[in-house]
Structure 1
Amino acid sequence: MNMTIINITVISHTFFYLLGIPGLEDQHIWISIPFFTSYIIVLLGNSLLIFVVITDHSLHEPMYIFLCILAGLDITLSTITIPKALSIFWFNSGGISLDGCITQLFFIHFTFIAESGILLLMAFDRYIAICYPLRYTMILTPSVIIKSCMTIYLRSLFTVCPMIFLLKRLPFCKTNLLPHTLCEHIGLAKYACASIQVNIWYGLFVLVITVVLDIILIVASYFVILHAIFQMPSQDARHKALNTCGSHICVILLFYIPGVFTALVQRFGKQIPPHVHILIANVCILIPPVMNPIIYGIKTKQIKNRVSYLLFERQR
Structure 2
Amino acid sequence: MFQHILLPATGAPADAVVYATARAAGLGQPVHLEVLHVKRDPVAAAIGLAGSGMDGGYGVSLMIDTIEKDEVAAEAAARASFASFRAESGEATATLTVETSDEEQSLIAHGRTADLVVIGRGDGGEDVALGRMQAVLAGVGRPLLIAAAHSPRALLDTVVIAWKDTAEAARAVGAAMPFIARAGRVLVVTIGEDEAPTEPGPASAARLVATLLRHNPEVSAWHVPAGAGKTGAEALLAAATEARATLLVMGAYGHGELREMVFGGFTRSVLGGAPMPVLMMH
Q: TM-score, normalised by structure 2?
A: 0.27
TM-score, reference length from structure 1: 0.24
> Quick one: higher RCO (CA 8 Å, sep 6+), 1 or 2?
1
Larger proportion of strand: 2
Higher relative helix content: 1
